[in-house]
Amino acid sequence: NLRATGLYPEGWTDAPVALFNSGNIRASVKKIDEQLTMGDILNVLPYKNELVKVHVPGIAIMEFLEWSVYNLKHTDVYLSGNFIQHAGLR
C-alpha cells in the first residue's frame, strides 16, 4: 500500500481515498537501512501512470474492491494484477 499511500497526502484532502492497480508494481524493494534511489522507484514502478481524481459513490468502491479479490484463493502463490492497493479506507 506504499504506492497508494504516496498518492494520499498528509492532512485534509478532498480526495480521501487512493486506489492503485497492483499490476503496475513490477518489483520489490528489499532495502532496510539504505536510502531509496530514483532507480529503485523506477524499477518498481516503470510505467508513466497518471494520477486522476474522480467522484465515486461508496457502493462502487466496495464493488471494485470485491472484484479485485474475487478470484483470489488462499493457495495462490502468484497474485494477479487485479489486486488493488489502497489508502484512506477504514
Q: What is the pLDDT of residues 47-83, one digit of tens each?
A: 888 878 899 999 999 998 888 887 777 666 666 667 7
User: Which grid coordinates are listed for 63?
Assistant: 464493488
> Taking the CA atoms of the chain, what radius of gyration do you get in angstroms?
15
pLDDT band at 2 (very low <50, low <70, confident <90, very high): low
φ, ψ (nearest 5 deg) of residue 87: -145, 145
Please check whether residue 64 is in contact with residue 83, taking contact to mean a CB–CB distance below 8 angstroms: no
Which amino acid belongs to residue 63?
E
For the chain, give the mean pLDDT: 78
pTM (2 decimals)?
A: 0.61
Three-class secondary structure of residue 88 per DSSP: coil
